[in-house]
Chains A and B, each alone.
Chain A
Amino acid sequence: MTSDGPGATTMQNNPTAPLEIGRANIHDLRIRWSDGHESVYPAADLRLACPCEGCAQQSAPRPPGQIRLLPAGIQAVHPLRVELIGQYAIRVYWSDGHSEGIYGFDRLRAACPCCLVKRGA
C-alpha cells in the first residue's frame, strides 16, 4: 500500500496513470499508460480475476482436494462495455452478465501480463 502523505505516490500523481482504455480485439482489453507502456489483458483472465466480493471468495485459496469450478463458457466471455469509476478504476460489463467488479488501475498495472512474464511471476 502506498502512503498518501505529502510527496507520496497516489493514483493521481502516479507516472503510470492510464491514458486510454479500449479493445485490443473482440475479447481482450488494452490500456495505454502515461509512461508509454501498453498492457493487453486477455478477457478470460481478467474475468477470472474479478475483484468483487463474490468472485474473490470463489478464487480464495482452497483446502487440498477442493477444486474451483470455473464459470461455464469462460473462454468466450468478453467485455461489452467499460465504465470509468472516478479516475481510479474501471467497471467491466461482461458478456456473461457480470459487472460487480471494480478493477483499480494500480492493480491492473501491477498485473500487466507482459510485465509479469518479464518479472518471471
Chain B
Amino acid sequence: MTSLPGNSIRYVIPVASGKGGVGKSTVTANLALAMAREGARVGVMDADVYGPSIPTILGVASLPEMDEDDKIRPVEQDGLKIISMGFFMAPEQAVVWRGPMLHKTMQQFLNGVIWGELDYLLVDLPPGTGDIQLSLCQSIPIAGAVIVSTPQDVALNVAQKAIAMFRSLNAPILGVIENMSDYVCPHCGVHDEVFGAGGAATMAERLGVAFLGAIPLTTAIRRASDAGRPVVVSAPESAPARAFFTIAERITTLVSARPEGASARPEVTF
C-alpha cells in the first residue's frame, strides 16, 4: 500500500520503454481499462510530460478541476481516474524543462491529485531513463515496472537500458511486453512479422525478467486509439483486446502474489 497524502494506492505500476514510439501509452491505456473492466479501481498518471498522449487515446474531453484545497480532482472516465500534462497545456505548446521542474511536476501529480482509494495506479513514463523515471522511483514504492518494447533489435537494445535503470534503483520489474509483435493481413490472413517477433521474449529470458505477453500489430488498435475508444472498450472480444486482458491478468496476479506487507517502508529514526 502506498500512502500519499489523502490517498491510498495499493500498487503503483510504471509502464516504461527505452525507445519512443513503441506504443507504451496505448499499452498503458488498454491495460488500465482491462483492469478496470475486471472490477479494479484504477488510476492512470500520464507522466510523459514531453508527449502526453493518454488524453487522446482515452478520448478524454473534460478537464480536471481544483477543489477548495487547491488539490487536483482527476478526470474520471470509463472507470479510470486520469491525470496528464496534456490537460494543462495547449497541443501546440512544448515542455522545455530542466530536471527540478520535472521533479516538481511528478510530486504534484503524486501528492497534489485526489486519487482516493486505488487498487492500481499505472504510470505512463516518457521513453528513456531520465529525470522523470528517477523522480518516480525515488518518491514512492512501486510494485514493479512493466517494460514495453517492439521486437526489433534497435528497440530491444534500448529497452535493456530501462531494465538496467530500474535494477540500479532496486526497483522491481514485473516483466516485458512485446508490442507490434505480429501483423495479420485483414484481407488475406497472411502473417507478417513487420518488426520481427519473439525478440522481447528472448531478451526477457536473457535478462532474467518475466515475459508478460505479446500484442499484435493491427490497424484496429491504432484506429481505436486515435478515436479515443481503445480496443479493450470498443472491441473487447477481439483478438487484440484479449491479448491486453491476458497481460493485465498476468500483471495483477504477479503483484498480488507478493507477500503481504512487502511494500512496507522501513522506519527511519534519524
The interface of chain A, by Cβ under 8 A from chain B, is 1-6, 8, 10-13, 17-23, 79, 81-90, 102, 104-106
The closest CB in chain A to the CB of B208 belongs to: A3
Given A85-B138, A86-B141, A89-B169, check contact A19 B270 (CB 8 Å).
no
Query: A6 to B270, Cβ gap below 8 A?
Result: no
Distance A106 CA – B171 CA, assembled complex (angstroms)? 11
The closest CB in chain B to the CB of A89 belongs to: B170
Name the residue among A20, A21, A88 with the largest chain B CB count within 10 angstroms.
A88
Complex interface: chain B residues within 8 A of A83 (CB): 268
Using a Cβ cutoff of 8 Å, how many contacts connect chains A and B?
96
| B257 lies within 8 A of chain A by Cβ | yes
Complex interface: chain B residues within 8 A of A86 (CB): 137-142, 169-171
Query: B208 to A11, Cβ gap below 8 A?
Result: no
Complex interface: chain B residues within 8 A of A6 (CB): 210, 254, 257
Query: A106 to B268, Cβ gap below 8 A?
Result: no
Query: A12 to B262, Cβ gap below 8 A?
Result: yes
The closest CB in chain B to the CB of A106 belongs to: B170
Query: B172 to A22, Cβ gap below 8 A?
Result: no
22 contacts between A and B (CB under 8 A): A1-B167, A4-B167, A4-B172, A4-B174, A4-B175, A4-B208, A4-B209, A5-B209, A10-B173, A11-B170, A11-B172, A12-B144, A12-B172, A13-B262, A17-B262, A21-B267, A23-B269, A84-B268, A87-B265, A88-B137, A89-B170, A106-B170
